[in-house]
Structure 1
Amino acid sequence: MTALLRVQDLRVRFRTMGPLKALATGTKAPFIDAVCGVSFEVRKGETLALVGESGSGKSTIARTIIGLQRAVSGSVSFDGYEIEELSGAERKPYLRRMAMMFQDPVGSLSPRLMVRSLLTEPFRIHGLKDRDAGNEAERLLRMVGLPADFARRYPHQLSGGQARRVGIARALALKPDLIIADEPTAGLDVSVQGEVLNLLARLQDELGMAILIISHNLNVVRHMSDRMAIMYLGRVIEVGSTERIFEHPCHPYTEALLAANPEPDPDAVLNRIELKGEVPSLMRRPSGCEFHTRCRYAQDICSRVFPETSASPHDAKHSFRCHFPLEREAPALLSPTGFD
């Protein structure tokens, strides 16, 4: 399957202090790396999930792809074209083929505009003056299951689920090939979450678009995605098919994430894995494998050597970064780092 979006060695950093303060304090690198050498691809018509704890860099990647955040290095190519290498006029047609659903369904809608104006704003931005605003707004509302009279409402008159549907409708306005959905079920009741996910799945089947879904909700990920990429401290540490990773995770961090997933069956036997210690600060990244301070399988090499990317012996498309993957026999726990 052809890659629609390809992210290669992406690095994004943020300044932690101004130049003068850095000079006065002798700080040579007043930055934190929020995204460190991330690579993945989204194929046409598929759903890829970026999964990880809060602060792992998922939303930063999304904002960089869509052009709201600049990368220090690396590349983002869409349909074979390097986005950063295109001029503003050349880039616009490609950005038009991507759309983003932001994490806050109400906060991402301007409180001063009615729903009709919010839905037709993409047409104005891209200079599509031949469209009838009223007809387009009604079409988009109908597509997401909202009555036509919602066009005259303001965002504060919408519930969370209704605001999310408006956000989906706005994202679909220009018939994009890729939708980036940042926590599409955040802040919604469970029943409304199901409605939103089923709506996205139906629209994907009808329109054939690809979806990059960003979430830490593993039930959402399992329901929606074909493949998933696990992130930790701004790095992708495991990538593979969703079914394969849920059944046979290779990285210990992935194992712990899956074990912590809520189980609706009250009679289910739970095998929780408690991670010791705190998530390390981005300003003080551990040496070697950055997960070794919390990993129950960690050995001396883990604190010294950063692991290379390896492929699972059972699935060449399932890759991970770990010295002691779970599919091999784990080392004896003689002195596991981070435990008493």
Structure 2
Amino acid sequence: MSALLRVQDLRVRFRTMGPLKALATGTKAPFIDAVCGVSFQIRKGETLALVGESGSGKSTIARTIIGLQPALSGSIRFGAQELIGLTATERMPYLRRMAMMFQDPVGSLSPRLTVQSLLAEPFRIHGVSNRDGGAEAERLLRMVGLPADVGRRYPHQLSGGQARRVGVARALALNPELIIADEPTAGLDVSVQGEVLNLLARLQDELGIAILIITHNLNVVRHMADRMAIMYLGRVVETGSTQHIFDYPRHPYTQALLSANPVPDPDAVLNRIEIKGEVPSMLRRPSGCEFHTRCQYAQEICRGVFPEPSASGDDAEHSFKCHFPLKHESGPRWEKSTALTS
């Protein structure tokens, strides 16, 4: 199946100081690279999870895809159309086909508008004048399991779960093919988290929507995602099917993340892997493999040579960037990797 969204070698850079200050202080590179050569694709109707610690570049990727943040280089193709380089006007037809749920469910809703006005807003922005705003708002509220009278409320009158459902409803307004959900369960009670995830799963089954879910909650990933991509310091270090990565992680960072995942069983035997040291600053990236400063398996080559993408022998879609990937059979815990030739 062809990709609905294809991100290739995406790079995003932020300036850390103005040109005059950089000149006065003698700073030659007054910027940080928040996203460094990230590539992935999403097929129609599937869910891909971007996973990683806070500050790893997940939300920056989402904002770049929908045009809120410019890319330094790379490619973002939606269907057959390249989005990087388009003007805001040229992007509008493609933005109708994708929608974003922002991390803060209440903060992403204008406090001056009622829920009904918020749900009608996408139709006004995209010039859809043949729809009745009130009727569309009621339809969307029913779709996400909220009563019609919620439409008369303002965002501050909503609970966290209700605000999140309104965000889902607004994302669905123009019948998108792709929803980007940035931490869709953040700040919600566990029971409400389950309701929101089940709602997204149901709507995906009914409407065939593809979902890019951004989270550090691995229980959400296991419940929702077909495939996952692990990010560290602005790079994807491992990607593949969710089940295969959970069962057979190859990158030491992935293994440590999975070992830290909470288990709802008080009698479970936990084998936590503690990552030593602090996350390096993006202003002073380590040479070679950027995880080598915290990796218990690091060798001399890791300190000087960045690893090429390698493939897992038993899953063609499972790839990783590690000189000494973990093994899951008898023998040494790691093996020398073989770089992909393609």
TM-score w.r.t. the length of structure 2 is 0.96
Q: Is the 8 A contact 2:326 2:334 kept in 1?
A: no
Q: Alignment partner of 1:239: what SS?
A: strand
- The root-mean-square deviation of aligned C-alpha atoms, in Å, is 1.1
Separation in 2 of the partners of 1:119 and 1:253? 41
Q: For 1:230-276, what per-residue CA distance to the aligned partner results, in whole angstroms no more than 9, with x for missing partners?
A: 00000000000000000000000000000000011000010000111
Aligned AA for 2:253? Y
Q: Is the 8 A contact 2:325 2:334 kept in 1?
A: no
Q: Alignment partner of 2:130: what SS?
A: coil
Question: Deviation at 1:331?
Answer: 5.5
Q: For 1:131-178, what per-residue CA distance to the aligned partner results, in whole angstroms no more than 9, with x for missing partners?
A: 001100000000000000111000000000000000000000000000
Find the counterpart in structure 1 of residue 33 from structure 2. Answer: 33
Q: Alignment partner of 1:283: what SS?
A: helix
Q: Alignment partner of 1:49: what SS?
A: strand
CA 1:249 to 1:117, structure 2 compared with 1: closer, same or farther past 3 Å? same
Question: Deviation at 1:330?
Answer: 3.3
Separation in 1 of the partners of 2:171 and 2:137? 12
Q: For 1:285-306, what per-residue CA distance to the aligned partner results, in whole angstroms no more than 9, with x for missing partners?
A: 0000000000010011100100
Separation in 2 of the partners of 1:33 and 1:205? 37
Find the counterpart in structure 2 of residue 59 from structure 1. Answer: 59
Question: Deviation at 1:324?
Answer: 0.3
Find the counterpart in structure 2 of residue 146 from structure 1. Answer: 146
Q: Alignment partner of 1:306: what SS?
A: coil
Separation in 1 of the partners of 2:297 and 2:200? 39
Q: Is the 8 A contact 2:71 2:84 kept in 1?
A: no
Separation in 2 of the partners of 1:226 and 1:315? 14
Q: Alignment partner of 1:76: what SS?
A: strand
Equivalent runs, 1:90-109 vs 2, <5 Å: 90-109=90-109
Separation in 2 of the partners of 1:92 and 1:274? 46
Q: Alignment partner of 2:262: what SS?
A: coil
Q: Is residue 259 from structure 1 mapped to residue 259 from structure 2 by the alignment?
A: yes
Question: Deviation at 1:89?
Answer: 3.8
Q: Is residue 196 from structure 1 mapped to residue 196 from structure 2 by the alignment?
A: yes
Aligned residues: 332
Q: Alignment partner of 1:192: what SS?
A: helix
Find the counterpart in structure 2 of residue 3 from structure 1. Answer: 3
- Which 10-residue stretch deviates more, 322-331 or 198-207? 322-331
Separation in 2 of the partners of 1:308 and 1:198? 38
CA 1:326 to 1:204, structure 2 compared with 1: closer, same or farther past 3 Å? same
Find the counterpart in structure 2 of residue 335 from structure 1. Answer: none
Separation in 2 of the partners of 1:150 and 1:87? 36
Q: For 1:26-56, what per-residue CA distance to the aligned partner results, in whole angstroms no more than 9, with x for missing partners?
A: 1111000000000000111000000000000
Aligned AA for 1:315? D
Question: Deviation at 1:86?
Answer: 3.6
Equivalent runs, 1:113-128 vs 2, <5 Å: 113-128=113-128
Q: Is residue 171 from structure 1 mapped to residue 174 from structure 2 by the alignment?
A: no
Q: Is the 8 A contact 1:116 1:137 kept in 2?
A: yes
Separation in 1 of the partners of 2:297 and 2:315? 23
Aligned AA for 1:318? H
- Which 10-residue stretch deviates more, 78-87 or 240-249? 78-87
Q: Is residue 212 from structure 1 mapped to residue 215 from structure 2 by the alignment?
A: no
Separation in 2 of the partners of 1:107 and 1:286? 36
Separation in 1 of the partners of 2:11 and 2:90? 24
Q: Alignment partner of 2:319: what SS?
A: strand
Q: Is the 8 A contact 1:75 1:82 kept in 2?
A: yes
Separation in 2 of the partners of 1:315 and 1:272? 26
Separation in 2 of the partners of 1:46 and 1:56? 23
Equivalent runs, 1:1-340 vs 2, <5 Å: 1-327=1-327, 329-330=332-333
Q: Alignment partner of 2:283: what SS?
A: coil
Question: Deviation at 1:85?
Answer: 4.0
Q: Is the 8 A contact 2:50 2:214 kept in 1?
A: yes
Question: Deviation at 1:314?
Answer: 1.5
Separation in 2 of the partners of 1:106 and 1:92? 25
Structure 1 portions without partners, runs of 5+ = 333-340
Aligned AA for 2:327? E
Q: For 1:76-100, what per-residue CA distance to the aligned partner results, in whole angstroms no more than 9, with x for missing partners?
A: 1101110124444432111110000
Q: Alignment partner of 1:84: what SS?
A: coil
Aligned AA for 2:218? L
Question: Deviation at 1:126?
Answer: 0.3
Separation in 1 of the partners of 2:302 and 2:86? 41
Q: Is the 8 A contact 1:297 1:330 kept in 2?
A: no
Aligned AA for 1:301? I
Find the counterpart in structure 1 of residue 340 from structure 2. Answer: none
Separation in 1 of the partners of 2:87 and 2:10? 20
Separation in 2 of the partners of 1:129 and 1:308? 51
Q: Percent identical across equivalent pairs?
A: 82
CA 1:331 to 1:121, structure 2 compared with 1: closer, same or farther past 3 Å? closer
